[in-house]
Every structure is written in C-alpha cells, then in structure tokens.
C-alpha cells in the first residue's frame, strides 16, 4: 500500500476502530473456496496458431493468465509450488513455463509468502478445456 494512503487511513481513524491492516494479493475473482475466475474472454485463437502468430490481444490474454495464476499462488501461500500441465496442449505448456519463470524470478518473495502461510505443498494443474471428457457427455 502506498505510504500516503496508509497515512490518510490512520488519520481518518479518529476512534481507533482499525486494529489491523493486511495486504492481500488478489488479482482474480473468487467464486467459492475451490473456484476462481480471471475474467478472460475466449482464448480459442491462441490454440489454433503458433505463439509467433498471436495478435496483441492474444499476447495480452496470455500475460493476464500468467499474472492471475501467479496471484492465486501467492494468495494460496503454498510452499514449493509444483506445476503440472497437459502435455498435448501447446498453450498449457507455454503457460506452465511462463508461470515457472515468474516463480523463479520472484523466488525469494514466493518463499517469504509461503513461510507466512500454513498451507502445504501446492500443485498447479493446467488443463486444456478442449481435452475435457466430461462436457461432451453432458451435452
């Protein structure tokens, strides 16, 4: 939080109501305890062509997916995140490698966040929705 905003908050609390202030890393919409959304539109165009042919919108969506998953990892406070992905999907593979790079780049921060939490090991499973065997059965 920016220092001036923190100062303004402290000055506005004339009755000493605020007991604690926490910074929460939440770059996604929590739907329930087991489900979240990054509010990303369709990514079908990413799946049908190689990355070098992606449009600026595709690149932006891909970056948003990586940032959002990184945010989920930080807020879950799990230690030593393991990334698993659908090897048959190039997009899943690219996203897994991008997320792994982010974790390695900010490894000290990720380690600090995981030490403050009480969650165990975290596994990120990245699946390609096109490979979903359940949906065709439901339709």
Give pLDDT tens digits for 94-103.
999 999 998 8
* Domain enclosing residue 123, as ranges: 3-138
| Distances in whole angstroms, Cα of residue 85 to Cα of each of 28, 36, 56, 139 | 20, 18, 24, 25
User: Over 60: is that where the pLDDT of 82 sits?
Assistant: yes
User: Over 80: is that where the pLDDT of 119 sits?
Assistant: no
Cα(71)–Cα(25) distance, integer angstroms: 6
Q: Are 37 and 28 in contact (CB under 8 A)?
A: yes
For 88-94, the CB contacts below 8 A with 24+ separation are 88/128, 88/131, 89/47, 89/127, 89/128, 89/130, 89/131, 90/47, 90/50, 90/51, 91/43, 91/46, 91/47, 91/62, 91/128, 92/126, 92/127, 92/128, 94/51, 94/62
Q: Are 62 and 52 in contact (CB under 8 A)?
A: no
User: 97 is written with which tokens?
Assistant: 């490698």
Structurally, how many domains does the chain consist of?
1
Return phi, psi of residue 35, to 5°: -140, 140
User: 60 is written with which tokens?
Assistant: 């932006």
What 8-state DSSP symbol labels residue 15? T
- The pTM score is 0.70
**Domain containing 125 — which CATH number?**
3.40.50.1910
Confidence at residue 108, expressed as pLDDT on a 0 to 100 scale: 76
Nearest alpha carbon to residue 97 among 61, 119, 69:
69
pLDDT class for 117, splitting at 50, 70, 90? Answer: low
Give pLDDT tens digits for 15-49.
988 888 777 667 788 888 778 888 887 788 888 88
């Amino acid at each position: 939080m920016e220092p001036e905003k923190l100062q303004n908050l402290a000055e506005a609390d004339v009755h000493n109501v605020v007991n604690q202030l926490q910074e929460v890393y939440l770059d996604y919409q929590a739907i329930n305890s087991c489900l979240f959304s990054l509010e990303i539109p369709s990514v079908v165009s990413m799946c049908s062509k190689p990355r070098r042919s992606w449009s600026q919108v595709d690149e932006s969506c891909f970056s948003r997916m990586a940032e959002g998953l990184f945010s989920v990892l930080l807020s879950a406070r799990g230690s030593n995140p393991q990334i698993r992905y659908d090897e048959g999907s190039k997009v899943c593979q690219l996203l897994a490698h991008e997320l792994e790079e982010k974790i390695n780049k900010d490894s000290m921060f990720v380690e600090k966040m995981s030490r403050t939490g009480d969650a165990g090991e975290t596994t990120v499973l990245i699946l390609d929705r096109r490979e979903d065997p359940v949906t065709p059965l439901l339709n």
